[in-house]
Amino acid sequence: QTLLVESGGGLVQPGGSLRLSCVASGFIFDNYAIGWFRQAPGRERERVSCISGSGAGTNYKDSVKGRFTTSRDNARKTVYLQMDSLKPEDTAVYYCAAQWTVNSAVVSCDQYGSLYWGKGTPVTVST
């Protein structure tokens, strides 16, 4: 069974930090780039970050650059999203998604090209 399971969301004050985890099973993890996406109430889903299969390449949405860091541990089939200096506008449900890539160096995470999705973990940034 193919699964992606997110965890680590919660309520945090502005300026605080959270670390999200995404654990995969049921597919060859190293062959997939993993993206973090988020969807706030009443808004479209947007990509936050992407990491290549090898973990060597990453990219980020402009508004989170310098605050969010994605990493992966292929031995544990886990991808992380470290979120620092959180702002109220970061409030959303966060999803991880896996996109097959031709080689492990490719950084490509498109929500329409992602094959597997988790069910999401909610993040609320508020006083």
For 9-31, the pLDDT digits (tens) are: 999 999 999 999 999 998 899 99
For 43-87, the pLDDT digits (tens) are: 999 999 999 999 999 999 999 999 999 999 999 999 999 999 999
- Confidence at residue 85, expressed as pLDDT on a 0 to 100 scale: 98
Give the end-to-end CA distance of the chain in Å, rounded to a whole number: 40
Inter-residue contact 6 to 38 (CB < 8 Å): no
- List Cα–Cα distances, 33 to 13, 26, 71, 85, 90, in angstroms: 31, 15, 11, 25, 23
Rounded (10°) CA dihedral 54, 122, 42, 85: -70
